[in-house]
């Protein structure tokens, strides 16, 4: 008879269900910290790529958005 193949995920779940609670707690804390680091790194990467993808707003010399047509009106003075 063929030996059933147990995937890694199932073995991990069985460890947390039936393993010694002290070891399971230590492993859980380590995995939790590593996942937190990965999520933070992924969020930083997403933030960087998002800012690179945003188109830059083009401004004219007066600081207003350029529309390709120059305004003939004088700029308001403060």
Across the chain, which has 78 residues, the per-10-residue mean pLDDT values are: 76 92 95 94 77 63 54 60
* Both tokens assigned to 9: 């995920």
| Chain Cα centroid distance, residue 59 | 31
Instruction: Report pLDDT for 61.
Output: 58
Instruction: Report pLDDT for 77.
Output: 63
CB 66 within 8 A of CB 58: yes
Cα torsion for 57, 61, 64, 70, to the nearest 10°? -110
**pTM (2 d.p.):** 0.48
């Amino acid at each position: 008879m063929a030996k059933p193949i147990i995937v890694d995920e199932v073995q991990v779940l069985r460890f947390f269900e039936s393993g010694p609670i002290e070891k399971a707690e230590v492993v859980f804390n380590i995995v939790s910290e590593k996942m937190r680091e990965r999520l933070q790194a992924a969020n930083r990467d997403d933030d960087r790529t998002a800012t690179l993808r945003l188109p830059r707003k083009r401004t004219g010399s007066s600081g207003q958005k350029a529309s390709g047509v120059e305004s003939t009106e004088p700029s308001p003075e403060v």
